[in-house]
Amino acid sequence: MDMCLPVFLDISQCKGTTPCRFQFDAYDLALKVGKQGRRATFENALSHIAPFGLDEKAAMSIVSEIKAIFSGWQNHFKEMGVTLKDMDKLSRRFSHSGFRFDAFT
């Protein structure tokens, strides 16, 4: 089960749009979500929010929720019994440069 972006899916209003490593350190979604198409970054997701029924305040609130989820992913996964080996594999999903929060908070 891919738990990478549970709140980000609310922005896209579609299920199954988890990021996939497509090339190098970039992730792309299955569907277009912003002005940069399928690029899986906050910048892209926030670039065209109106079609999803969001204003800037609502979109930024979702980014804050995502930040809270991302910041506690390791503790949550430990509590759920995820092995260290699996957590190491998953850590790449939580370190994607497109999901840095400093530019959005």
The pTM (predicted TM-score) of the whole model is: 0.56
User: To which H or E segment does residue 71 belong?
Assistant: helix 56-71
Residue 102, Cα to own-chain centre: how many angstroms? 14
Q: What is the pLDDT of residue 54?
A: 92
What confidence tens digit (pLDDT) does each residue in 29-50 have? 788 888 999 888 888 889 999 9
Q: What is the pLDDT of residue 57?
A: 95
The model's confidence at residue 91, banded by pLDDT at 50, 70 and 90, is confident
Q: Give the separation between CA 72 and CA 79, rounded to whole angstroms.
A: 11
Report the DSSP beta bridge partners of residue 21: 27
Residue 55 lies in a domain: yes
Residue 81 lies in a domain: no
Phi, psi of 22 (to 5 degrees): -100, -45
Helices and strands (H, E) in the chain, number of each type: 5, 2
Domain count, the chain: 1
Contact 5, 73 (CB under 8 A): no
By residue range, what is the domain housing residue 34? Answer: 8-67
* 3-state secondary structure (DSSP) of residue 69: helix
Q: What is the pLDDT of residue 84?
A: 92
Mean pLDDT for 10-37 is 63
What confidence tens digit (pLDDT) does each residue in 61-88 have? 998 888 888 888 889 899 999 999 998 8
